[in-house]
Amino acid sequence: MNATDRIVHEFDRLVAIGQERIPERSYAEQVVYFIVATRCEIDMEGFESVFEQAFKTAELKILIDGLRMLDESHLAAEFEYGLELLKQDGFYEHLNWKKVSALTKQRIAESGKRIGNQLWTLDEKLVAFLEDS
């Protein structure tokens, strides 16, 4: 089984468990779940949706820390940048995307462009992370 097939299999298994039970899984499984769910969210709803709808702050921190553990610090920094922008803008106090400033939205969109499709190139690293854990 190649790396992509393995990650698809693992993600499907984790989706079947349900997002609410992901915190019960191993850290490596959590990282796989949030990275793959993030790339799916970006493809379906756009980069901003990762922050607006998909994940809570704690879940974003797992994504960010997981990317760092995979030696993807540049990707982690982009997600951390978006999280910090939204914190500074007060988003996590009201959770209303319409109240987020145009400048913050623009900066987050630019961050999404810098990330592009890079999350889709991590399957081999994700498999190795699962196997080493």
Q: What is the Cα–Cα distance from 118 to 19, expressed in whole angstroms? A: 23
Residue 1 has pLDDT above 90, yes or no: no
With contact defined as beta carbons under 8 Å apart, do 66 and 126 qualify? no
Q: What is the pLDDT of residues 36-69, one digit of tens each?
A: 999 999 999 999 999 988 898 999 999 999 999 9
CB atoms within 10 A of CB 63: 25
The full set of domain ranges for the chain reads 3-120
81 confidence band (pLDDT: 50, 70, 90): very high
**What is the pLDDT at residue 133?**
84
Q: What is the pLDDT of residues 100-124, one digit of tens each?
A: 999 999 999 999 999 999 999 999 9
